[in-house]
A and B are shown apart, each in its own frame.
Chain A
Amino acid sequence: AQKVTQAQTEISVVEKEDVTLDCVYETRDTTYYLFWYKQPPSGELVFLIRRNSFDEQNEISGRYSWNFQKSTSSFNFTITASQVVDSAVYFCALRQGDSNYQLIWGAGTKLIIKP
């Protein structure tokens, strides 16, 4: 079965703290793609990153970094030195194979950054 689990429903930290959002996925495919999206209070989903299953290199973009580990089926997202503007709901998603258009979505993690 295909599934994406974001076990953390809500996380609250004080500004400037580092925070990691967990994402665990299940799939039988050897080819798949993983995504992270941000949904700020305005409601629009913003694409952050896409990773394919053959590329286990970690990615860093400014204060954001992603740790992809196939051995544990995880694709975790870390925000370093968090800021109030990072407050949002973050979704992890999975797309299987090369012939499937649909994304399987996690339930989302609400991140609250307190000033």
Chain B
Amino acid sequence: DVKVTQSSRYLVKRTGEKVFLECVQDMDHENMFWYRQDPGLGLRLIYFSYDVKMKEKGDIPEGYSVSREKKERFSLILESASTNQTSMYLCASSLDRGAQYFGPGTRLTVT
């Protein structure tokens, strides 16, 4: 079974803090993705990576950066958290162009 894990289920941070969300997959997938999910706005892609050290912007990359130093790990970084980044963050991975498999999500609250 594919397993995608995320570092935290719930996270509370203050405005202006630097926030790291970690995602690890154990299936040797090339592709990894970060989404955010908000009521009424659905799933929106922030960044994805198709190889180590490679990244591509998704639909809403502003205010975020990513890092992929190892194949199994994909980090989402909020350089200076703001209240409008309060959201559910979902990480996914896929093999080639197959189905994306998701982690449990991190519910981030920025106060």
Contact = CB atoms under 8 A, between A and B. Distances in A.
Interface stretch (A67-75, A77-85, A101-109): A101-109
A45 B99 contact: no
Interface residues of B, number: 23
A35 B99 contact: yes
Contacts of A33: 97
Overall SS of chain B's interface: strand
Contacts of A106: 42
Interface centre among A33, A35, A43, A100 (most CB of B within 10 A): A43
A47 B100 contact: yes
Contacts of A47: 99-102
Nearest to B98: A50
Given A44-B104, A44-B105, A45-B102, A102 B45 contact: yes
Nearest to B33: A101
Given A35-B99, A45-B102, A47-B101, A101 B50 contact: yes
